[in-house]
Amino acid sequence: MKADVRGSFARIGLAAALAVTLTGAGQRVDTARGEAGAQEVVRVENSFAQRTQSGQVGPAFAEYAGRQAIMFLPEPTTINGRTETIPWPGALVWRPDIVAIASSGDLAASAGPSVAVNAGTGERYGYYVTVWSREAAGWRFILDTGVDQPANLYSTAPVNADILVGRAREGSGFDLQRLEADFARDAARNARRAISGRMEDQGRVIRAGYAPAVGRRGAESLLQAQPETLTLRMRDGSAANSGDLAYAWGDASWTDANGAQTGHYVHVWRRDGTRWRLALDLLKPRPVAGAAVAPTPAAQAMPMTAPTATPGPAPAPAVPATPSAEPVDPPAPTAPMPAPTPTVPTTPVPQPTPSATPGR
């Protein structure tokens, strides 16, 4: 999961906070709502992480889960009413290093490094993605997943998160299924180009066993070690009321040096004017049957106290997110679709065996 971003949002700037844009049928959207919402998401993340760090992992996930929250265990599963039966880690710490949010303040996504700790087995490192919806009770997660990492990125992650606020033009409608279908078509031909060509400058490409790539150039570098083609099938997703942020997830299959592989993907899309860009692109392989992840030593120093987020301006009221079709456990697949392009990379390392244990 995540923890500690201390409310730093200077990168947005006063001009962005005061800017007003038009979306939909001439509807006025104050982008300050997006900034305030991003700060609120970070405060929620910090409160959430403080509970999981103290060992209250299951109760914390139960509290912050939305009405139809999904986690990959390893199959996509609605966790409402089931948190007591899930094998949670003993403690969990995380920190968001990127937050993308709709200008309407009703839909957001966060991602960052995490560390799961179990007594006797050591630490497990990861990088998570969470999609948030603003419900009547406040921000609640509607999708939460992640991939294993070979190193502790939490201890070296920047304190300040990158903030991306959606921006749509007047009268610019869109079709999420069409957006995903176009991407899937291109990914089936050349996934590396499809992802990198759509990547945000600050977007993340997230793969098991590799530090997340940032931006288009990072994506191009990281994807050289990834499958050349992907077969994608969208299963669910939703968009913000402002039409400038959306997410989708579904099934994925590909072939690599180890043969045919299957898993799931998550996309978070942000509109900047008239163009849709990938803010987050995650590919999560299914665990190999019978394989276990080797624990890493727990002796490594790691701060386990969540820093307090600096209070930001009072958040503006957000418009409730448009609900998507509720997935079944496991959800039924829909028609196949294509894939995106990534960001600034780091040196690839051997990929660990994926884990079915929840907790980023």
Residue 191 lies in a domain: yes
Residue 29 lies in a domain: yes
Residue 348 lies in a domain: no
Q: Mean of the pLDDT values across residues 285-292?
A: 72
Residue 306 lies in a domain: no
pLDDT per residue as tens digits for the range 123-144: 999 999 999 999 999 999 999 9
pLDDT per residue as tens digits for the range 343-353: 333 333 333 34
Q: What is the largest CA-CA distance in the chain?
A: 59
Residue 327 lies in a domain: yes
Report whether pLDDT(297) > 70: no
Tell me the three-class secondary structure of the chain, residue by residue.
CECCCCCCCCCCHHHHHHCEEEEECCEEEEHHHHHHHHHHHHHHHHHHHHHHHCCCHHHHHHHHEEEEEEEECCCEEECCCCHHHCCCCCEEEECCCEEEECCCCCEEEEEEEEEEEECCCEEEEEEEEEEEEEECCEEEEEEEEEEECCCCCHHHCCCCCEEEECEECECCCCCHHHHHHHHHHHHHHHHHHHHHCCEEEEEEEEECCCCCEEHHHHHHHHHCCCCCCCEEEEEEEEECCCCCEEEEEEEEEEEECCEEEEEEEEEEEEEEECEEEEEEEEEEECCCCCCCCCCECCCCCCCCCCCCCCCCCCCCCCCCCCCCCCCCCCCCCCCEECCCECCECCCCCCCCCCCCCCCC
Tell me which residue range forms the domain holding 199. 13-296+311-337
Q: What is the number of structural domains in the chain? A: 1
pLDDT per residue as tens digits for the range 45-81: 999 999 999 999 999 999 999 989 999 999 999 999 8
- CATH code of the domain covering residue 285: 3.10.450.50
Residue 241 lies in a domain: yes
The confidence score (pLDDT) of residue 40 equals 94
Residue 142 lies in a domain: yes
Residue 106 lies in a domain: yes
